[in-house]
Structure 1
Amino acid sequence: MAAQKRAVRVGVAAIIPDAQGRVLTGRRKGSTGSGRWAFPGGHQEFGESYFQCAEREVLEETGLDVRALTTVALTNDVFQDEGLHYVTIHVKCKKLNPDQEPKVLEPNKCEGWQWTTWAELREILGKPDGHNQLFLPIVNLLLENSDIERTIDSGQSLQ
């Protein structure tokens, strides 16, 4: 049996702030990072832009209509135990209808959605088992971007 070639994949995470500055997070289920809090998102498909990917994944997972606005960060996410390696593109998105709330449209992949503050995410990360409560792209985003809220609020971009 030939050895399978490992590849780096592209993941897209949608950061969707609400009017209070909280961001949408969901507890993953049934795949890599199961039981951990993550942003909506997924794999970028061939021929798809990362903005298109963010908008598609959010709609598929939550039913929210969003507009991808800007790329705010990249993280290098190596899941050692699973033998997976992703570059995750974190995309700021805006809800097109501010009154619309997320729904669990993929119950086999997400336990539920909630609005979470950056302070709450940092508090989780600071716990002894915090790295096991947050999905690796969020861990790396917080560790590598100490002022991510300001970056998102200011509309700064990597582009």
Structure 2
Amino acid sequence: MATAAPKVRVGVGAFVLATSNEPVENPRFLVGKRLRAHGAGTWALPGGHLEFGESLEECGAREVDEETGLKVKNVRYLTATNDIMTADNKHYITCFVVGERADENQEAELREPDKCEAWEWWTWEELLERVKAAEAAKIGEPLEKHLFIPFLNLVKQRPGVRPT
């Protein structure tokens, strides 16, 4: 019996800006350390799979709320990447959205502690530094903070894009 070809899935990653007045060149946004599934041990945006009938913006806001308890406002489409994860035999089109915390004093909660170890606020420049470190690392060399493939691809495939 023939094995069905793996399917391409749609993922949504949500940039949650710390404030509605983040600097355009170096905004702060929320990242979490993944625990399960593909990308375990890497840092990524809150996000997940697009559900049937859902807009990208709705998916991003839903996933942020489910994972962090944060409400986001002004959610809008940013860009997309083509992410082939050969080690996991997965292929995703990852759509990125961006929005701001509705309450700038509220911090992210670990709502899914079986899926996410911690939340941190990073700047765009910090992300770029981590991408450079990942690209310069030799195979098997330990990195302080591994990045989820869609995060790496965002910088590589969409140079000049900023979550603003």
1:139 corresponds in structure 2 to 152
Provide TM-score, normalisation by structure 2. 0.85
Distance 2:48 2:33 in 1: 14
Distance 1:72 1:18 in 2: 17
1:122 corresponds in structure 2 to 128
1:13 corresponds in structure 2 to 13
Which residue of the other structure, out of 34, 41, 53, is the alignment partner of 1:28?
A: 34
Residue 68 of structure 1 and its aligned partner are, at CA, apart by 4.9
Question: Does residue 1:100 correspond to 2:106, yes or no?
Answer: yes
Query: Would the aligned equivalents of 1:37 and 1:135 in 2 still touch at CA under 8 Å?
Result: yes
CA RMSD in angstroms, aligned pairs only: 1.6
Code of the residue aligned with 1:94 in structure 2: it is E
Distance 1:108 1:69 in 2: 26
Code of the residue aligned with 2:113 in structure 1: it is P
Structure 2 segments unaligned to the other structure (5+ residues): none
Partner SS state of residue 53, structure 1: helix
Query: Would the aligned equivalents of 1:25 and 1:38 in 2 still touch at CA under 8 Å?
Result: yes
Code of the residue aligned with 1:13 in structure 2: it is G
Code of the residue aligned with 1:133 in structure 2: it is H
Identity of aligned residues (%): 41
Provide TM-score, normalisation by structure 1. 0.88
Residue 38 of structure 1 and its aligned partner are, at CA, apart by 0.1
Residue 13 of structure 1 and its aligned partner are, at CA, apart by 0.3
Code of the residue aligned with 2:62 in structure 1: it is R
Query: Would the aligned equivalents of 1:52 and 1:68 in 2 still touch at CA under 8 Å?
Result: no
Query: Would the aligned equivalents of 2:71 and 2:101 in 1 still touch at CA under 8 Å?
Result: yes
Structure 1 segments unaligned to the other structure (5+ residues): 154-159
Partner SS state of residue 148, structure 1: coil
The one-character-per-residue Cα deviations of 1:81-100 (angstroms, maximum 9, x if unpaired) are: 11110000000112111111
